[in-house]
Structure 1
């Protein structure tokens, strides 16, 4: 399984972004505050239905905006899987796989495995 691309709309510091990824190695480089960690958090959202650094969904919406959208295309077992997560302020989060909304987010957990290691986890790996 691998993430082929991601699209962000009003997610944290991103107004809009579209990125494509390599099947092998991807490197994110940029100045502090450029959005590298926010990009990782968006990927975490697609895999585990919530942010890694702040689990409060409404805090992911870019300042002065009313909604956020994170969408990604995964290659999973040679099939394309489109995952979409969106939230309008003061409404319920919508989470879809191939345009079909989940009845329970728990049905999504485990389908797109992810291991997140951040600077906060340095004691685990040392």
Structure 2
């Protein structure tokens, strides 16, 4: 991701690095990203979509696919942590999302916890296009 459009405003951003602990099928994983083009490949079931969902989580404060935060914790574990290092408009941004069973989700920007998650929405614009959405692109709306 290099340019994203949100509400007619061009935002220059780049996800530099992503780290996952106990998120869905990942015990621990990290990945670095190019400011240009990134290609994610792998066999079915290895976590490609979960990796994209983790990025969505950091941008939108929730999973695209599962609205129940605790159901995104790896089976048998008590917590999950998603960390992302972004460059946005020339500034470094460190975003974290932590979820523990039976506790409130913690969402932080540069180590400062948000009082309201809505304060974060739109800061890191992201769009997910699913196979179901592609029909709209190809065929248009009614």
Q: CA deviation at 1:75?
A: 0.1
What's the counterpart of residue 34 of structure 1?
A: 46
TM-score (norm 1): 0.98
How far is 1:118 from its partner? 1.5
Q: CA deviation at 1:120?
A: 2.8
Provide the C-alpha distance between the structure 2 equivalents of 1:123 and 1:67, rounded to a whole number of angstroms. 37
Larger radius of gyration: 2
Q: Report the Cα distance in structure 1 between the residues aligned to 2:102 and 2:125, rounded to whole angstroms.
A: 29
Question: Is structure 2 residue 99 aligned with structure 1 residue 97?
Answer: no
Q: Which of the numbers 99, 102, 111 marks the counterpart of 1:87?
A: 99
Aligned length: 126
Q: Cα deviations across residues 78-110 of structure 1 (Å, max 9, x unaligned)? A: 110000000001110000000000000000001
Q: Does 1:109 align with 2:109?
A: no
Superposition CA RMSD, Å: 0.6
1:11 maps to 2:23: yes
Where does structure 1 differ by over 6 angstroms across 4 or more consecutive aligned residues? none
Task: Return 5+ residue gaps in structure 1 as ranges.
Answer: none
- TM-fit CA distance, 1:122: 2.3
TM-score between both structures, scaled by the size of structure 2:
0.87
